[in-house]
A and B are shown apart, each in its own frame.
Chain A
């Protein structure tokens, strides 16, 4: 190895960063902390532009802050031609692929580092592990902040247990499939109508983030069924993050459980685990857990992002469509219900989409088939769902008829 031994004369025009070698240069770049710094380094010279992209510096920055990003084995832009074929991949094509991936991760780094913007990222509840009186005490009521709504109590209650160690879970769908979660707030319920004003909190709380295992589209008809059923098993979820346990206070107030650092939820599913019971109901002597309100503070990633799960467990492909980024206001308008087709309640078009499917095939489980949906629902929704233009859409009616 050639070492530089004398003091380098600064006027010789050599790139000092190149001279310290690739390993050291990579180390230096790893210590940069913002996507803006990496972007400016890319503008310094042709060598630096290539070096930053080839060494996946933006991906490295994302992973440094959000280790979950390492689950993405690759990233690409929707609508762009990505060439992986053939051993004789030309240099130009190879560079274009690298550059595209670099752009996606650079944009991702920017979006991940934004502060929490949503005070409640919950789109709707999916299920509770048990419910005492359905539907009066269903998980739906945890969406309302107060303990009283329309002159009646508003809370979820578990079933009673004689063993105080039996846990419960509340599972929610977040407002986007990729969502940064900063903290979860839970307000345990104080039974103001019972003697002694008991507060049915849990001993501790744990948060799980992940996705549904199957690609089944949950229709709202199914949701009612799930919410009323006892679901003590771990359900069909893949958890990509499990938080530490946070102690919960037996206090009638909204308590904050802040994750040690913000976490990217890949899959849009959040589960609150309520560990241990502390309050018996005088009437039957059983332990219950009741929650008045739950909310998730974080930042849903823009609609431009999506992912696909690979067959290997825990590995994903990240997809990004900058078409949607530009048209952000369009999808936002639609999801805010400016079009009469979409319910005002949903924070994205998801609920209304499921409603439409339900009307089309009442009560049946539909496999998530993009070409079917595109054929059924038209191009506007297809754009929101980022279905590539060149996908085969021969209207596979056979599958619907199953």
Chain B
């Protein structure tokens, strides 16, 4: 029986990705196939040329390749539990800006499991945080008027009680 041509390609082909500063990333075919976008692009053009990804920086591309390479390898060899642990470590200490750049790149390259993982990580960072802490993390200006804020907190007093809402109320009053 003839070997599946895709499998043969997976072992031997490299895909060339040219990124924002004109650096070339060479990745294995199987790794590149983790990206739906690359999969579609390459099925049309073949693997001879170079795929331009001018809008992704080398730092981000390195992370994407790291993730995809690990998951290709892990597919049949590493337990689900260990993969989950690796996933947590992978994103653990990334700063907010990198995380967001990563999410944009992943969306562009259409890598669903990485996209979900990043969204889950962002959600983990906002769980159990106060509104003020969330603003700091994501660099958000508080554009609510004092009346609007009062209305929201009053309606959802139960959610803010853990924050020590009475203390915050005290501060707001003092600041006049």
Contacts and interface: CB of A to CB of B under 8 A. Distances in A.
15 contacts: A3-B56, A5-B20, A8-B101, A10-B96, A15-B138, A16-B96, A16-B139, A24-B115, A29-B123, A33-B127, A36-B158, A40-B134, A42-B156, A45-B144, A49-B148
A19 B140 CA distance: 11
B105 A3 contact: yes
Interface string A1-16: 1011111101011111
B84 interface: no
A92 B107 CA distance: 34
Contacts of A5: 20, 55-57, 101
Contacts of A10: 96-97, 139
Interface residues of A, number: 44
A335 B128 CA distance: 38
Nearest to A49: B152
Interface residues of B, number: 48
Interface string B115-144: 110011011101111110011001111111
Given A28-B123, A43-B149, A15 B139 contact: yes
A360 interface: no
Contacts of B160: 39-40, 43
Contacts of A23: 107
Contacts of A31: 119-120, 122-124
B67 interface: no
A35 B160 CA distance: 11
A126 B154 CA distance: 43
Given A8-B100, A31-B123, A43 B153 contact: yes
Nearest to A24: B103
Contacts of A12: 139
B159 A35 contact: yes
B156 A41 contact: no
A27 B119 contact: yes
A106 interface: yes
Enumerate the 10 nearest inter-chain pairs by beta-carbon distance, A residue then B residue, closest first: A31-B123, A39-B159, A39-B156, A27-B119, A36-B159, A43-B131, A3-B55, A8-B97, A16-B138, A28-B119
A103 interface: yes
A36 B162 contact: yes
A46 interface: yes
Contacts of A64: none
Contacts of A24: 103, 107, 115, 119
A37 B134 CA distance: 11
B1 to A, nearest CB: 42
Contacts of A43: 131, 144, 149, 152-153, 156, 160
Nearest to A35: B159
A229 interface: no
Interface in A132-188: none
Interface string A42-61: 11111111000000000000
B113 interface: no
Contacts of B103: 20, 24
Nearest to A38: B159
A5 to B, nearest CB: 5
Contacts of A33: 127
